[in-house]
Amino acid sequence: MSATSSGAGATSPEIVVPDELANNVVITNIAKLLDPVYNWSRRNSVWPMVFGLACCAIEMICTAASRYDLARFGMEVFRATPRQSDLMIVSGTVTKKMVPTIVRLYNQMPEPRYVMAMGACASGGGPFKEGYNVVDGIDKFIPVDVYVPGCPPTPQALINGLIALQEKIDQQSIATVPWYRKGDPTAEMVPVPVLGPDLVDLRQLEIIEREAAKAKAETAETAESAA
């Protein structure tokens, strides 16, 4: 367990450990031990949400199946409800029609929550980026922790992404993680986008109004010049 080596294992000069117990006893203090234990338990029980969007979901299922066996990482517990899951694997093309649902699901996940953009589509639109109904990357709406390239990523690539997520978890400290603090910025609700004539990100209302005014001025101008 590499994670613990940073905190535990250092011997204290005041306490003498009998030789016969030297291999079994580690002298440490709670502050040093807390982070490794906290992260060790979290990194090995990341529960993903059952959330297949497109082609990548098939590879995600293959990863969970017997050959690649996600259970080795403690991640085989796919939960159907966001309330019980730690990780949202956005596995496939995010369409405009689907994005309100995804944001709502993200909002329903409890902290600490992680998001993985699996495949080209979720990361940046992929081959369908130019389409009128496709969101060019889920990171335009919710924060993403790990990007996994590929179209679709092979199970090995997905496992690599999950290991990257474990490394990210290892670097967090219970003393500084935001989700035990008041006014946690990461726990904020992302405003759910609305389907109008096109997808409306409610954080962009100002820009939409500005552009509308600009378009109005332009049409007035062309009408004037035509007259």
Partner 1 sequence: MSEKILEAPDTVQNPVEQATTELKQRFPESLSDETRPGYEGLIVSPDKLREVATTLRDELGFNYLSSVTGVDLIDDNKMEVVYHIYSIEKGGGPIVLKAQVDRDNPVVPSLVPVWPGADFQEREAWDLLGIRFDGHPDLRRILTWDGFHGHPLRKDWKEPFYEEDHKPFGSRWPGGGVRRAEELNPYGKNVQYPPGWVPTGDEYEVETDLYTGLTIKKDETIDLKTEQVTVNIGPQHPSTHGVFRMVVTLDGETIVALKPVMGYLHRNHEKIGERNTFIQNIPYTDRLDYICSMSNNLGYVLAVEKLLGSEVPERAEWLRILNVELTRICNHLWALGFLLNDLGALQTPMLYFYIERELILDFFEALSGSRMMCNYMRFGGVAYDLPDDVRGQPTLQFLDELVNERLPRALEQGNELMTGNEIVQARSIGVGYLSPEDAIAYSTAGPVLRASGIPYDVRRAEPYSYYEHLDFDVAVRYNGDIYDRYLIRLDEMYQSLRIIRQVLPYLKETEGAPIISGKPQYALRVPKGGEAYARVENPKGELGFYVTAKPKGSNPERYHVRAPSFINLTALEKMTVGHKVADLVAILGSIDIVLGEVDR
Binding segment (CB under 8 A) for partner 1, from list 93-101, 110-118, 162-170, 176-184: 93-101
Measured from the CB atom, the residue of 25 and 194 that comes closer to partner 1 is 194
Is 151 a residue that touches partner 1 (CB under 8 A)? Answer: yes
CA distances from 203 to 40, 114, 181, 197 (A): 37, 22, 25, 17
CA distance 115 to 147: 9
Window of 3-11, 53-61, 164-172, 182-190 that interacts with partner 1 by CB under 8 A: 53-61
66 scored as a contact of partner 1 (CB under 8 A): yes
67 touches partner 1 (CB under 8 A): yes
Shortest Å, Cβ 119 to partner 1: 11
**Cα 29–36–145 angle (5° rounding)?**
145
**Could you write out the DSSP letters of every residue in 172-205?**
--TTT-GGGSTT-GGGPPPPPPEESSSEE-GGGH
Say if residues 191 and 199 touch (Cβ distance below 8 Å): no
How many alpha carbons fall within 13 Å on the CB side of residue 159?
17
> Of 175 and 194, which has the nearer Cβ to partner 1?
194
Decide whether 51 or 114 has the Cβ nearer to partner 1: 51
Q: Does 127 bind partner 1 (CB under 8 A)?
A: yes
Q: Which of 180, 219, 221, 222 binds partner 1 (CB under 8 A)?
A: 219
Alpha carbons 12 and 3: distance in angstroms, whole number: 20
Task: Determine if 205 is a binding residue for partner 1 (CB under 8 A).
Answer: yes
